[in-house]
Structure 1
Amino acid sequence: MEQTTFKAICELIAQRKVRVSAHAFTRCSNRGILTTDVIAKAALGSPIEDYPDYHVGPAVLVLQSDSTNLPIHALWGLEKGTREPAVLVTVYRPDPDAWMPDFRTRRR
């Protein structure tokens, strides 16, 4: 899998060039996930789906863990036509009915 978007996101996070969307902030708050944990653990995550041609800008779905080591999916992206900041678009706990036990593969 092409990891250009993930690499760019990780580099921006390391430079503290990050924006949390209002949607992501609300989703984290509603699920007891700290946005600071999502940001801090992003580089430790594994990219599972890359969307380089997404209509609002390149994005990547990353399997990460929260502060209690439970799996989460974080969608990171860049706004179309920009190179920074890394944008945390949304965060959710993967549904076991929709994902295989590794949370990296969608059930068909």
Structure 2
Amino acid sequence: MMSTLLAGIQQLAARGNVRVSAHGFDELANDDISFGEVLGGLPMAVIVEEYQDYHKGPCVLLFQLLDDGGPVHALWGLAKNAPDMVTLITAYRPDPEKWSPDFLRRKPK
């Protein structure tokens, strides 16, 4: 079942109402991930965790695949002060030591 939050994020992104946080730009560069790949993978994304009550606005951590088939986690959100714009908060290559083999569940500490 599709989350209402994810559906809203995907609709805004499809309309081009997208921005990237400063932290997001840094993380994309650190992990050599292209924003275009993350944006392009959004329609097929799978929810990892949803944070409806995040203090800056609701956001969702998604599992996506890059063009080369590599895994990426992307945190997309709707800021309280700009609900008509979706923000890529961060994106990174998940650490296999910290995640299940499918990258959908955190391993216990």
CA 1:9–1:67 in 2, change beyond 3 Å: closer, same or farther?
same
Instruction: Answer whether contact 1:2 1:50 (CA < 8 A) is retained.
Output: no
- State the partner residue of 1:44: 44
Matched residue, 2:63: 63
Alpha-carbon offset, residue 67 of structure 1:
1.8
Q: Partner residue of 2:97?
A: 97
Identity of aligned residues (%): 42
Structure 1 residue identity aligned to 2:99: W
CA shift, 1:82, in A, is 3.4
Alpha-carbon separation, structure 2, partners of 1:31 and 1:48: 19
Q: CA separation in 2, counterparts of 1:79 and 1:24?
A: 14
Return the letter of the residue paired with 1:62. Answer: L
Structure 1 distance, partners of 2:16, 2:81, is 20
Q: Equivalent residue for 2:78?
A: 78
Q: TM-score, normalised by structure 2?
A: 0.93
Unaligned runs of 5+ in 1: none
> Aligned equivalents of 2:11 and 2:100: distance in 1?
29
Cα separation, 2, equivalents of 1:8 and 1:81: 16
The aligned counterpart of 1:13 is 13
**After the TM superposition, which of the residue ranges 55-64 and 23-32 deviates more from structure 2?**
23-32
